[in-house]
């Protein structure tokens, strides 16, 4: 199995995260501020220097005002449109159960 930083799916994830960020008219610095991380964190996952684990993926999706499940579906279906903008709720995020694993 090839390293996941070099696979077509990883490239698709990078492009999708960048495309969603730009569609939301957010800068890398905006997303980084929402995540409480430096701008370089966003630049590295968008540029393919760094992978996201599943917990980070969910946080990034939420920072992009996007449902993580919709974003994952868009990743798996290369012909899918961008996920719709999710409603941001004020205050701390409440974990949601999306079924059992």
Domains along the chain?
4-76 (1.10.260.40)
Q: What is the pLDDT of residue 16?
A: 95
pLDDT band, very low/low/confident/very high, at 7 (cuts 50, 70, 90): confident
Per DSSP, the three-state class of 85 is strand
Q: 76 or 34, which is more confident?
A: 34
* Cα–Cα distance measured from residue 48 to residue 20, given in angstroms and rounded to the nearest whole number: 16
pTM of the predicted model as reported, rounded to 2 decimal places: 0.77
* Mean pLDDT confidence for 18-45: 97
3-state secondary structure of 64: coil
Q: Encode pLDDT of 60-97 as tens digits.
A: 999 999 999 999 999 998 766 667 777 765 444 444 44
What is the average per-residue pLDDT within 8-22?
A: 94
């Amino acid at each position: 199995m090839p390293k996941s930083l070099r696979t077509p799916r990883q490239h698709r994830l990078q492009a999708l995260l960048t495309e969603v960020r730009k569609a939301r008219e957010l800068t890398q610095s905006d997303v980084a501020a929402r995540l409480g991380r430096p701008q370089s964190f966003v630049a590295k996952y968008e540029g393919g220097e760094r992978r996201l684990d599943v917990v980070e993926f969910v946080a990034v999706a939420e920072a992009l005002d996007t449902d993580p499940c919709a974003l994952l579906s868009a990743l798996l279906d290369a012909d899918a449109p961008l996920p719709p903008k999710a409603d941001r709720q004020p205050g701390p995020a409440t974990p949601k159960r999306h079924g059992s694993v």
